Structure 1
């Protein structure tokens, strides 16, 4: 069964690369970046081979612990979990979760993140090639550490995905993600404050304390075992190896439980298909046009589909981290930086609009069969995204201005938030018709990614952000000038609104015309990516 699943993963990966040029480009870019990261990590780990034991111990513990944390954060907020071989596809086959699990584990490690992590982990063996005992412990810690990276990320994303199938949980999920972002911001701020004194002794103490703290967390148990042995604490090394083994066993059975549930009770049965009442608030919110109907349907998806909630969380966390980090420390933080943080949210809206059509999956055929104009589709999706994210950006801006006592900067920030937001939506309306990125299919884990490894989505985000920034250069220039000529801030608002309207009209018009010409091709790509 292991060979079958791994072979299936390789076949799907190969076929996906043959079918999509974008996936091939994304894979090549990922391999180049992964190779560069691995080469840099190996250079550092080889250099640590000749460093004092205490320095190598602290740096490897901190570095590899942060690598494990990065797996968790990137799975939840950016790339998602690689489920090219989706467990739910085996639901109708006579195969148990216990038989599937080893194959799914190895298949999940086939990709740039898994291979890079394994290679970097092997580099730690070079660092600790100082005695036979250290080599043995290091060799044991590498598979423990790699397994911990994968299992922590997989269990977290699967648990959160299944929790999102509950409407009660979704009502509070945005608050949970905000608190999570605040917690990360507090941690970053604490480290920043601790490193404000750049004396060697202070840096040494900070590194030692950070390594000691991370080494006794689940993220550092396996990676810090060789470090404990190298510094003469062999009982601690044995204890950490035992703890890491227990963690892997616990995560393995936890993941197995989620696999059993996914094989017997798919996420789409979570009771999220309640019929909307006729004449509801959403129906009255938009005009009685085809674009209004698309907007109403899209807004209901934003309310009910966990994948949209994951998308909102992903673009809201970064501004929240910046805001909290800057405001909680009045001495080293900058309220001005916090004030401009909501512009990042507006800048990222375009990536959400770009991927919106991909979330429809094969259900997009209803648009094609009804003969809806492409411009109506683009306009409706733009209205829905603006209805959801627009108020979030504006409320965030006003709250930061009040908390940071930066009301004087409101005109400049509003010019950027409004201008960038409207331009980003316009860019997304066009970009979403040019390329369709792989997204999780409806009812599946909203944090999974396809066989492109998430790099296609990253490339799409980079392209839309870059194009949005380029189109917003007039607004940005006027806002910069307003710091010397105050009244230009209000001109910036006007320039932002006008630029946004032009971008929206062009994005909807050009994107709609492209859809009218390429509906069958778009439907085929969306169906293949979902």
Structure 2
């Protein structure tokens, strides 16, 4: 079962039901809907992306539960350990441009580069798995500790965390893409993921994510009261702002340096 879920692919097309974009993604009548339909289908059909999603969800749940084991009487706020699941999705969200980079020439041929709706679709397809991991991590901590009081506020916080992650990921993906070829070993280290420069970029992105989340997350953890649900819900506006700003900067970077990135990620095509 594990091999089938993670790595199994089939080239046999017999009996496979044909479907158009509307079947995969409702109301996919425009470019944005078509991009979402393509990425949503790719998310499951790609062995590498499927593996990344499953492992990200599993690690998010397991790591959150591990934080509760040393505590004899865990506080109600221990459920916020589930937000650490963002760390296990950062590796994917920070490289949505470099993934399957050898097919980038299709985007350049069709539209002159990676357009905004295509970048958003790639980010959102990764964000869906991140959201699932955070929700399941919170539920797992609740089951392990019996602390359910903070669950509604925690769940209200998760969209803000995902939006901030994707906003930062849009900038990092456009500025420091890594070549990751679909079909390779899912556990293979992407080409270029070494050196002090890339390490500093990732650390800076992680620090930025923490700073962006702190104004919303800290009041929820440090204070009591149901008024915090309003703070968590208001965080959606902040998360949306971070998301929009990050995507805009990522698109601007791709517009300026798209051909250079294509040459870097796919040298034979770039020449």
Q: TM-score, normalised by structure 1?
A: 0.44
- Looking at secondary structure, tell me which structure has more helix per residue: 1
Gaps of 5+ in 2: none
Listed as ranges, the matches of 1:238-253 within 5 Å are none
Q: Within 1, Cα distance between the matches of 2:128 and 2:22?
A: 13
Q: Specify the alignment match of 1:525 in structure 2.
A: 264
- Whole-Å Cα distance in 2 between the matches of residues 378 and 366 of structure 1? 14
1:345 alignment counterpart:
85
User: SS in structure 2 opposite 1:492?
Assistant: helix
Cα distance in 1 for partners of 2:104, 2:138 equals: 35
Q: 1:363: Cα distance to partner? A: 0.6
Instruction: Find 1:448's aligned residue among 169, 175, 188.
Output: 188
1:58 equivalent in structure 2: none
8 Å Cα contact 2:28-2:37 kept in structure 1: no
1:466 is matched with which residue? Answer: 207
> Equivalents in 2 of 1:452, 1:369: separation in Å?
25
Q: How does 1:168-207 map to 2 (within 5 A)?
A: 169-171=3-5, 173=6
State the partner residue of 2:157. 416
Asked whether the equivalents of residues 375 and 513 of structure 1 are also in contact (C-alpha less than 8 Å), the reply is no
Does the 8 Å contact 1:430/1:511 carry over to 2? Answer: yes
- Residues of 1 paired with 2:27 and 2:136: CA distance? 22
Matched, 1:358 2:98: yes
Stretches of structure 1 lacking an aligned partner (at least 5 in a row): 1-166, 174-266
Does 2:248 match 1:509? Answer: yes
1:496 to 218, 223, 235: 235
Quickly say closer, same or farther: Cα 1:343–1:448, change in 2 above 3 A.
same
Partners of 1:350 and 1:424 within 8 A in 2: yes
Match of 2:10 among 238, 254, 271: 271
Render the CA deviation track for 1:344-366: whole Å, top value 9, x for unaligned.
Answer: 12354343222122112221111
| Change in 2 beyond 3 A, CA 1:281/1:290 | closer
Answer yes or no: is the 8 Å Cα contact 2:179–2:192 preserved in 1. Answer: yes
- TM-fit CA distance, 1:416: 3.4
| Separation in structure 1 between the aligned mates of residue 22 and residue 50 of structure 2, nearest angstrom | 20
Matches within 5 A, 1:130-529: 169-171=3-5, 173=6, 270-271=9-10, 274=13, 277-279=18-20, 283-285=24-26, 287-326=28-67, 329=69, 332=72, 334=74, 336=76, 339-371=79-111, 374-439=115-180, 441-449=181-189, 452=192, 454=194, 459-483=200-224, 486-528=225-267
TM-score normalised according to structure 2 size: 0.81
SS of alignment partner, residue 94 of structure 2: helix
**Superposition deviation, residue 469 in structure 1:** 1.2
Q: CA RMSD, aligned part only?
A: 3.2
Matches within 5 A, 1:22-41: none
CA shift for structure 1 position 282: 5.5
Larger RCO (CA under 8 A, 6+ residues apart): 2
The alignment covers a number of residue pairs equal to: 264
1:481 offset after TM fit, Å? 4.5
Return the offset for 1:442.
2.5
The Cα shift of 1:515 comes to 1.5
Give the Cα–Cα distance (whole angstroms) in 2 for the partners of residues 272 and 475 of structure 1.
47
8 Å CA contact 1:426–1:505 kept in 2: the answer is: yes
Report the secondary structure of 1:448's partner residue.
coil
Who wins on radius of gyration, i.e. which is larger?
1
**Which runs of 4 or more aligned residues in structure 1 lie more than 4 Å from their structure 2 counterparts after TM superposition?**
272-276, 335-338, 450-460
Instruction: Provide the rounded CA distance (Å) in 2 between the counterparts of 1:286 and 1:333.
Output: 49
Cα shift at 1:507: 1.5
Contact 2:65 2:144 in 1 (8 A): no
